[in-house]
Amino acid sequence: MNKPKLFGLSILLLLIVIAIPVSIVFWQSYSTPTLRLQGQIEAQQYMVSSKVPGRLGEVEVRRGDLVKVGDLMFSIDSPELEAKLTQVDALDTISRSIAQAVDGGTREEKIAAARSEFAKAQAAENMARTTYQRVRTLAEEGVIARQRLDEAFTMLRVAEQTRITAGEILKLAEAGPREEARTATQAGEDITSSLRDEIEELLDDTKAFAHASGIVSNVLLNPGELVPQGFPVVMITDLEDAWAVFNVREDLLRFVPEGAEFELEIPALDKKARFRVNHVAAMGDFATWRATVPGRGFDMRTFEVEMHPVEPIQGLRAGMSVLLDLPPEAGRANAQR
């Protein structure tokens, strides 16, 4: 091979060697990069609280503990409820005693006394009638004055009314209490019974149990601290119910439609897994609007996209980052913005 050809070949190889990296740099500079979105893993959380305010007693769990439905989480000390239960016990005793007295009717001693008074009234009436008849006979004969006859007649009328009154008292004693009294005592029993049930239910609520299985992610109070009504004391995270959340601009939503599946990268686990889009929702207005290039006429809103794993992922925890690579056309659409 002559020298001119060898020199030309060398020049050609040199140009090829220079052209390849230049082409790569030029392609990287002007090609549309892949659009990558970063999201994070979230998991279902449950708050365990108490309906009863009081002072926190024993906390049976710590952060990181695995719990099942029905496990005891904590207890509340409430001496006030114990005192109210004692008061209700006393009211219940009084109410039952009154009810027994009413249901038992009038005591036999009172009935016997009423019968005795009625018998005395009958005897007094008979005596007054006999006396009146004798005085009338003497008055007709002119032996005594007419005044004595009037007095005897008045005593007879008084004896008759006394006998009638004693008879009514005897009837009341034998009939016993009225129906209204029985109704009132029954209502009193119902009230105390209802109060007892309410306080006993509240005492049962001083012990809080897990209503979901999972891992204890946080304990918000320490024993001895005051617990307001309904305040969460223990947080449970269900790692079996975890999903990925992305914040996606509305011009990119068409690339993540509901029902679509994507392969997401999970750096913490150094693996990829398939996720399915289950929910798309508009986020709040604050800090979610992005102005487009001036003159294009509208602002773009951010939407929250939830993706659930197609299959369970071992080791997946809330807070982990996940990466989503959108199709090349999404990158071109983003570059135009």
Give the type of residue at 287.
A
For the chain, percent of residues with pLDDT exceeding 90: 29
| Residue 56 belongs to some domain of the structure | yes
Domain of 56: which CATH number?
2.40.50.100
| Residue 8 belongs to some domain of the structure | no
Phi-psi region of 254 (alpha: psi -120 to 50; beta: other; left: phi over 0): alpha
Greatest Cα pair distance, the chain, in angstroms, is 193
| Residue 60 belongs to some domain of the structure | yes
Domain of 278: which CATH number?
2.40.30.170
- Shared domain check, 328 and 260: yes
- Shared domain check, 225 and 275: no
pLDDT given at position 287: 42
pLDDT given at position 167: 77
| Residue 14 belongs to some domain of the structure | no
10-24: pLDDT as tens digits: 666 766 767 676 666
- Shared domain check, 193 and 57: no
pLDDT given at position 253: 87
pLDDT given at position 250: 84
Which of 191, 218, 234 is the last residue in one of the domains? 234
| Residue 229 belongs to some domain of the structure | yes
- Shared domain check, 176 and 193: yes
Which domain covers residue 282, as residue numbers? 33-43+239-336
50-76: pLDDT as tens digits: 888 888 989 999 999 999 999 999 998
pLDDT given at position 241: 92
- Shared domain check, 121 and 68: no
Q: What are the DSSP calls for 194-263, one per residue?
A: HHHHHHHHHHHTTEEE-SS-EEEEEE---TTSEE-TT-EEEEEEEEEEEEEEEEEEGGGGGGS-TT-EEE
Nearest to 96 by CA among 195, 198, 185: 185
Nearest to 336 by CA among 300, 304, 282, 283: 300
| Residue 12 belongs to some domain of the structure | no
If one counts the domains in the chain, the total is 3
- Shared domain check, 312 and 248: yes
| Residue 313 belongs to some domain of the structure | yes
Cβ pair 54, 206 in contact under 8 A: yes
DSSP secondary structure letter of residue 33: P
For residues 248 and 281, what is the distance between their CA atoms, to the nearest angstrom?
Answer: 10
The kind and range of the H/E element at 322 are: strand 321-325
Extract the residue ranges of the chain whose pLDDT is less than 70. Answer: 1-12, 14-15, 17, 19, 21-33, 88, 90-92, 94-109, 170, 172-189, 283-299, 330-337
- Shared domain check, 217 and 132: no
For residues 300 and 288, what is the distance between their CA atoms, to the nearest angstrom?
Answer: 8
- CA distances (Å), 146 to each of 126, 157, 266, in order? 22, 17, 127
- CA distances (Å), 89 to each of 78, 186, 283, in order? 17, 16, 55
Query: Which tokens hold the place of 57?
Result: 């007693």
For residues 12 and 4, what is the distance between their CA atoms, to the nearest angstrom?
Answer: 12
- Shared domain check, 195 and 90: yes
| Residue 13 belongs to some domain of the structure | no
Query: Which tokens hold the place of 247?
Result: 């914040």
- Shared domain check, 104 and 187: yes
DSSP secondary structure letter of residue 327: P
- Shared domain check, 223 and 243: no
- Shared domain check, 210 and 183: no
Phi-psi region of 228 (alpha: psi -120 to 50; beta: other; left: phi over 0): beta
Number of H helices, E strands in the chain: 6, 13
- Shared domain check, 209 and 67: yes
The kind and range of the H/E element at 183 are: helix 179-204
Which of 175, 200, 225 is the last residue in one of the domains? 200
- CA distances (Å), 212 to each of 63, 118, 186, 235, in order? 16, 75, 42, 10
